[in-house]
Every structure is written in C-alpha cells, then in structure tokens.
Amino acid sequence: EGQLLESGGGLVQPGGSLRLSCTASGFTFSSYAMSWVRQAPGKGLEWVSLISYSGGRIYYADSVKGRFTIARDNSKNTLYVQMNSLRVEDTAVYYCAKSREGTTDAFDIWGQGTVVTVSS
C-alpha cells in the first residue's frame, strides 16, 4: 500500500518562502506523475502543480505560476515545492498526490497534508 508523507509546513510572513517535501513509500515513485493540491480553510480543493514521472513536464495553476517551483528527486523518492513570494491567500493545507497511472489521471494516493499559514 503506497504512502505519502508531507513535511515543511509552518507560519511564514507575506513575501516569505517555504519549501515543502513529500516522501513516498510502498510504490515505485519514479514511475508516476505527482501533484500538489491545496485546500484553504473551509474551502474546496485546488490543484497547484504537477510534475511528470521523469520531471520532463511541469504544469502550474495560474495562481502560483512564477512563484512556486515543483521538483522531484527520484533517487530519494521525494517530491518538493519551493514556494516564494507567499501571499495571505496561499494559506492552506497542502497535499501531495500520486497520479493513478498516466500523467493525465486521477489521484489515487494522497498524503495527510501539511499546513501553511501566511500571516504577519
């Protein structure tokens, strides 16, 4: 049974930076696309970014383009997102999620989430 474990969340001031990590186990991490999905307090789910299995294709939501950078280290079974120029509206629980098979697919494994709070 595959598992994902996020870390790196915390409190940061507007304009600050934070790097989240997501460590995978129980499946061949290097074979699957991975995403970050966030959920603001009391709100719905918002897809943030996706990286293909090799890292060769990367996509971002318009709301984070130019500020967030997704990356992966397949040798460490770890997914990252570097978040710069953080805004109050980036406050959310951030989940990492695995694509079921192809790059364009449902998300079949989710982490437990890590909380990012952007506030002065």
Partner 1 sequence: DIQMTQSPSTLSASVGDRVTITCRASQSISNWLAWYQQKPGKAPKLLIYDASSLESGVPSRFSGSGSGTEFTLTISSLQPEDFATYYCQQYKSNPWTFGQGTKVEIK
| Interior/surface letters 1-31, b for 16+ CB within 10 angstroms, e for the rest | eeebebeebeebeeeeebebbbbbeebebee
CB of residue 13 vs partner 1: minimum separation in angstroms? 26
Q: Which stretch binds partner 1 (CB under 8 A): 12-20, 21-29, 70-78, 109-117?
A: 109-117
With binding defined as CB under 8 A, does residue 105 bind partner 1?
yes
With binding defined as CB under 8 A, does residue 107 bind partner 1?
yes
With binding defined as CB under 8 A, does residue 50 bind partner 1?
yes
Collapsing DSSP states into helix, strand and coil, what is residue 99? strand
Residues making up the chain, counted from first to last:
120
Q: Going residue by residue from 5 to 44, which x/- string records binding to partner 1, judged by CB under 8 A? A: ------------------------------x-x------x
Out of 28, 82, 112, 119, the only residue in the binding site for partner 1 (CB under 8 A) is 112
Q: Minimal CA–CA distance to 4: which of 22, 16, 27, 28?
A: 22
Residues that bind partner 1 (CB under 8 A): 35, 37, 44-47, 50, 59, 61-62, 95, 100, 104-108, 110-113
